[in-house]
Amino acid sequence: MAKRKGANKENLVETRKIFLRAGLEEFCEHGYANASTSRIVGASDMARGSLYYHFGDKQGLFIAIYEDLMNNAIHKVEKLMDAENNTWASFITGTTEFLKLCTDKKFRKIVLIESQSAITFEKRVEMHKKTFLGKLHSILTELFEQGYFKNYSIETLSVIIFGMLAEIGRALHYAPDTKTALNAFEQSFILSMESMAKKQ
All structural domains of the chain with their residue ranges: 1-56, 63-196
Nearest Cα to Cα of residue 55 among 75, 83, 27, 94: 27
Q: State the architecture of 1-56 in CATH terms.
A: Orthogonal Bundle (1.10)
pLDDT in tens, 74-124: 999 999 999 999 999 999 999 999 999 999 999 999 999 999 999 999 999
Burial of 50 (0-12, 13-18, 19+ CB in 10 A): buried
pTM: 0.89
Q: Which CATH superfamily is domain 63-196 in?
A: Tetracycline Repressor, domain 2 (1.10.357.10)
| Number of Cβ within a 10 Å radius of residue 196 | 14
